[in-house]
Structure 1
Amino acid sequence: MPRPPSLPTALDALDRAFASEGPFPVTGCLYCYGEQGLAQLSGPLRHISDDLVSSVAAETPGHWGDFPRLYRRLVPRIIRPVVTGLFGIDEELVASRLVQAGWTTWDAPLTEALRDVWDAWWQTTLRTHPGPVPIRTALAVVTVATGGLSSWLDTWTGIRTTAADARLAGLVDDVLFESEFTDLSMGFYDEYHATAELVEWLLTDVRDRVADARPDALYRIEAFQTGARHGE
């Protein structure tokens, strides 16, 4: 499998792909955004304030006359700060909103550009430690956005670097806190249940790296798996 483009390259390509999403008359909740806010959202993308972009990124779909179209147009302004750790809202909420906006049904150039960003971001995250976004958050975003966890774990298996192992230690420390991995969900709305896949992965060939990261991790994970098999 070819290595994805670098994250800066993928983000620049995302900007170009979504440049086709031009201004349109935005309608929505006047109480929350007022005529001025709607007018700004209806104008050039570069003139929309960062605060307004953040607000729209987090807002519920029912606030807008055409939520999918508005979210699609704002994708370059939303995704870049998310993957660089500069957004002021919950990154997992952005993933949930993208799913609600039906991003996988958009025109192919748009979906392909966004998928390239997910791939590039995940590779960059695994190869960088420390990084601007916590590993569990990054994993949750790509998992919820794409509707699957296993491919991202497979990529992790194949990257055997000091940074990737340090990221693994961070994830293990996080999910083992108060045995949270026994009921681990991802997404702002806990829409993706990850326990079974994650436990299975942690007990594959990656187990030696887990043991190095957290000596007691394998015992606790294996105990959970044994209990689950016996219905405990």
Structure 2
Amino acid sequence: MKHVNDKKTALVTGANKGIGFAIAQGLGKIGFTVAVGARDDARRGDAVQRLRAEGVDAFGVALDVTSDDSAAAAADTVERTAGRLDVLVNNAGISGRIDGGTQDPTKLDLDVVRAVLDTNVFGVIRVTNAVLPLLRRADSPRIVNMSSSMGSLALRTGPIMAAYAPSKSMLNSITAQYARQFADTNIIVNAGCPGYVATDFTGFNAPRTPEQGAAIALHLATLPDDGPRGSFFDDEGVVAW
């Protein structure tokens, strides 16, 4: 039996650790029911238990963003469990292999590029489109795509990573395309940069905590109905593209 949920529900992809877990935690603490999207059953279950122990209303959603079938099944799980979806945070992302100069543009391994795009860009499209019917039924739907200033053509920050950085440039571009498509609707979509955060992604060698990295996602997930659309933000404001 599907229970009628009067609490807003958010799906966070890649929510079992790092910034994704901190986003799930933050949304839970401000009253959202949180759908913890993650590939690994054990890690997902552990994350849900940790969130529930903190008083967050959380449930797990099996989700491999590189699979069309998995994205469709995840949408069904959210509908069956919560009956609604108000916020989608596309957080799942990979850096891709960097061993042996793999992401040096002059000797770029195209299989690495494909793998990175499949998660960081195609995965966002897969999941977004799978849950769109649910989001369209919400009063104030929000989509947050977690990007990186490394994808900024203006800033060109971080190390040379010719698979990862362009994947974030493309994610920013697809965010703008969705925003244009949703211009006459109540769906607000933006991209957010968490900054340089200590996670396993950065070898925990970074100045910002996952909670600090999650703050921009919480902000964009709870924008008012007249909030900005189709732009790229960090804690300081708009990021140069």
- TM surpasses 0.5: no
TM-score by length of 1: 0.32
Greater share of strand residues, 1 or 2?
A: 2
TM-score by length of 2: 0.31
Q: Report the structure number with the largest CA radius of gyration.
A: 1
Greater share of helix residues, 1 or 2?
A: 1
